[in-house]
Amino acid sequence: MMAQVWVVVPAAGRGTRFGGPLPKQYLPAGGQPVLVHTLEALLQHPGVAGAMVAISENDADWPGWSEIAGKPVLTCTGGASRAASVLAGLLALPDSVRADEFVLVHDAARPNLAQADLGRLLEVGRQDPVGAILAAPVRDTLKRAGDDGGIDRTEPRQRLWRALTPQLFRRHQLIRALQDAAAAGVEVTDDAMAMERLGARPLLVEGAESNFKITTPADLLRFEFELSRRAV
């Protein structure tokens, strides 16, 4: 069996674009918070050892799980941005996770991760010196807007991918990359972007479109639909 990896889950966003008081990772779907579905998808996989969840300070919504699927769930305090939360999670991992070991990072708000995609990312990514991310090819035609809202031009979509998570990197390299971006005042929107800044070229591993991020009420309905399909 291949060695297991830890996963860092940034879940410190307090974004409530839904309007309600509850951050999206705690919204209920199929009788459980979105974050539980996310952690179950990760921890059910035999290649995952445990999860470090970065939650916001004084997070009254965190239900206090310490174990899911028989594996440890630890928490730490996240930061003011996704990148800061991931960095906090990486630093808080148990000492048994060596500096050169691969670790996964996965958004709390992506509960619909397929086991097959996670498995392929682990298998393919670990053969790359840098690491890898799940991603989906762009299928729509892309327009560049002008200031007036008119179309300036059409951008070629060949070779364009949408970055998903999980993303797989070596613990120490990702720590360094995120610290470097923070010191330079660059806001990185995913982990690969921090690595790219330092000249690394992570591998793209194609993943399913169904691994979407819950951002709007429609996304939550879509996830509930996916859950009901699983039950059949």
Residues lying near ligand C5P in the complex (CB under 6 A): 10-13, 15, 25, 54, 78-82, 85, 107-109, 213
The distance of closest approach from Cβ of residue 56 to ligand C5P in the complex, given in angstroms and rounded to an integer, is 7
Shorter beta-carbon distance to ligand C5P: residue 79 or 202: 79
d(CA 219, CA 131): 29
Shorter beta-carbon distance to ligand C5P: residue 39 or 48: 39
The distance of closest approach from Cβ of residue 107 to ligand C5P in the complex, given in angstroms and rounded to an integer, is 4
Burial 164-193 (b: 16+ CB within 10 A, else e): bbbbbbbbebbbebbeebbeeeeebebbbb
The distance of closest approach from Cβ of residue 129 to ligand C5P in the complex, given in angstroms and rounded to an integer, is 27
DSSP run (H or E) holding 134 = strand 131-137
d(CA 75, CA 88): 10
The distance of closest approach from Cβ of residue 86 to ligand C5P in the complex, given in angstroms and rounded to an integer, is 7
| Residue 205 CB neighbour total at 10 angstroms | 21
Shorter beta-carbon distance to ligand C5P: residue 27 or 205: 27
The distance of closest approach from Cβ of residue 190 to ligand C5P in the complex, given in angstroms and rounded to an integer, is 9
Shorter beta-carbon distance to ligand C5P: residue 13 or 202: 13
Q: How far is CA 164 from CA 1, 43, 66, 213, in A?
A: 26, 18, 26, 8
d(CA 159, CA 169): 22
d(CA 120, CA 108): 20
